[in-house]
A and B are shown apart, each in its own frame.
Chain A
Amino acid sequence: MDRRAFLNTAAIAAATTSLARGATPAAPATPVELIDTNVHLSHWAVRRGWADTPARLVEKLRRHGVTSAWTGSFEGVLHTDISGVNTRLAESCAREGGGLLLAFGTVNPTFPDWEEDLRRCHEVHRMPGIRVYPNYHGYALDDSRFARLLELAAQRRLLVQIPLLLEDDRSHNPVLTAPYLQPAPLADVLPKIPGARVMLLNAGARVLAGNPALLTRLVRAGVWFEHATLEGVAGLEALFGRAPEVRVAFGSHSPYFYFEAALLKLQESVLTPEQLAAVRHGHARAALNIA
């Protein structure tokens, strides 16, 4: 992302400063806006996704009306040269993203000098947020290193995205397994760190749809979610019925998942215009409030 594109993003976020934690965003000025908060470049280790190139990713997302795609790199999950991964991600998004791909670099707080990766994501690559993969990087969310990462990210006003899983853990390749990431510690950790902002990715089955008590705790702690793995008939409608205050954004987990699966969930649920706008872009914009 170049500086101009970044400043545009920042300006959009600044315009949403009134969207306080827990508030439902108002109907959009641009009704067609659609922010996909859960996209990766490259292929997952054991699957070929639907986009072999950033250009293909952009073409399809744009065809479906996506106006911004928060994009990490699958390479960040398993590579140890994370600074190289982040540089390539930033360059790909800037060069081939067509103004659509917003890079989210990877930080692994178990690596030496990980603070420098965080600094580069913010100062060099001008990223609005980062992704962490605790279950692949070997720590839990009550780990003191994670708390330190949240503090530093908060100081830099960076959103921290955390996938709870990347693939169905019943079908892991036996040599590439990772336990499901338990999100419960977030409910205690997050309120202790002023300014910290966290969005859980792929939290559908075991939090949004499957654990109302935990969902309530995480909502109260101010966590954002996205809907890529939210299942059940009319899942979004049911979710808002159970937890009206939940801040769930649009997420597709592309290109690992078919993008159309995420889009059709909007059609399957009857949402108010305000709820629809919040899912399509309102909550995402609020989560990126970097003003």
Chain B
Amino acid sequence: MNRRTFLSSSLALSALASRSPAAAGSPPRDVRPDPAATAWESPELRQLGAWDIHAHPGPAGPNPAKRMEALIRIADRVGVERVCICMSPPWQYEPTPEQFRRSNDDVLAILKEWSSRVFGLVYLNPKYTRESLDELERCVADGPMIGIKLWVGTRANAPQLDPIVQRAAELDALILQHTWIKQRGKGNLPHESTPMELAALSARHPGVPIVCGHTGGGDWALGIRAIRARPELYADLGGGDPVYGEVEMAVRELGASRVLYGSDINGRSFGSQLGRVLGADISLADKKLILRENLRRLLMPALRRKGYKA
């Protein structure tokens, strides 16, 4: 998809929305009796329409768009309005350029059908710096995607990330960097990043917003501490068990405006990841920021570039 075709399709949001289970920008509808009605603190929250920073297309289905359709139907059940997707399967820890291009082709195919509900993050491996920069041009500068996903191919503090971060900033593309702390870091994959390494990258690029994927995972208490001093780093809540205390600590230490709802579907469930926000002992206003407004604000520069009116 070139830039012109993308702009044509994205500007025709209303037409796309009519093919979607829920209209873009309006709350998803589900007419079943709600067995989880009490989970929503207020009707306002139930109708809010969450924006999800961290999602992956499902593996089952005849083509990428059909896989996404199945996912969107499930998102509608639990009030998720928009999802940022990346990394269509199969996944490789250290993808070659050919492999990450093929994965991104799937996401591009999804965006042709689902740009009213889905935002795309281009999957890169900074080990292949030149090819990653080329792919960034193809999918973001000249294509419909609005951000970057970095997984476990290269550690976040590696110098190969610098030109990618610089170009992302020029394009207003939001970066989502996976992080985890396994067995206090000893159990991480060879090139799997920690929040501490992401903080080091951020220090080299002040002012560039980056999302700390999973915020360290199960050891989120260390992850939150690691990114606390870097105001450009945002905490993605998704991907770990819904352990009480993470949201409360993130809001207390980072401020609610630096905390983002993410699900990490398909591996996780929407419900378990929404539940941690809805059940948190924080204010209703903070929940609204986390579930929707923070991500909307972060993505707005890129969306405006693409002609979105969200």
Contacts and interface: CB of A to CB of B under 8 A. Distances in A.
Given A65-B38, A171-B218, A261-B276, A47 B244 contact: yes
A267 B34 CA distance: 6
Given A171-B217, A258-B276, A268 B269 contact: yes
A276 interface: yes
B219 interface: yes
Contact of B218 (A170, A234, A263): A170
A280 B33 CA distance: 14
Contacts of B71: 233
Interface size class of chain A, counting residues whose CB lies under 8 Å from the partner chain:
35 or more
A260 interface: yes
Given A171-B182, A266-B36, A260 B279 contact: yes
A231 B266 CA distance: 9
Nearest to A261: B275
Given A233-B71, A263-B275, A268-B74, A258 B244 contact: yes
A225 interface: no
Contacts of B187: 170
A232 interface: yes
B163 interface: no
A50 B249 CA distance: 13
A259 interface: yes
A261 B246 CA distance: 14
Interface in A183-199: none
B49 interface: no
B272 interface: yes
Residue among B182, B219, B266, B271 with the most chain A CB within 10 A?
B271
Contact of A261 (B219, B242, B281): B242
A232 B241 contact: no
Contacts of A276: 35
Interface residues of B, number: 43
B269 A267 contact: no
B279 A261 contact: yes
A112 interface: no
Contact of A233 (B35, B218, B265): B265
A49 interface: yes
A232 B267 contact: yes
A264 interface: yes
Contacts of B266: 232-233
B35 A168 contact: no
Contacts of A167: 218, 241, 243
Contacts of A282: none
Contacts of B281: 50
A257 B36 CA distance: 16
Contacts of A129: none
A265 interface: yes
B38 A264 contact: no
Nearest to B56: A233
A167 B241 CA distance: 8
A172 B74 CA distance: 33
B77 A235 contact: no
Given A233-B270, A258-B280, A267 B35 contact: yes
Contacts of A256: 243-244
Contacts of A47: 243-245
A259 B243 CA distance: 10
Contacts of B218: 167-168, 170-171
B272 A265 contact: yes
Interface string B117-153: 0000000000000000000000000000000000000
B256 interface: no
A117 to B, nearest CB: 29
A153 interface: no
Contact of A260 (B74, B219, B267, B278): B278
A220 interface: no
B244 A231 contact: no
Contacts of B272: 231, 261-262, 264-265
Given A64-B39, A231-B267, A280-B35, 4 more contacts: A168-B240, A261-B274, A265-B269, A268-B78
Interface pairs A-B: 4 shortest CB-CB:
A171-B218, A261-B275, A264-B271, A258-B279
Interface of A: 47-50, 63-65, 167-168, 170-172, 174, 229-235, 255-268, 270, 276, 280
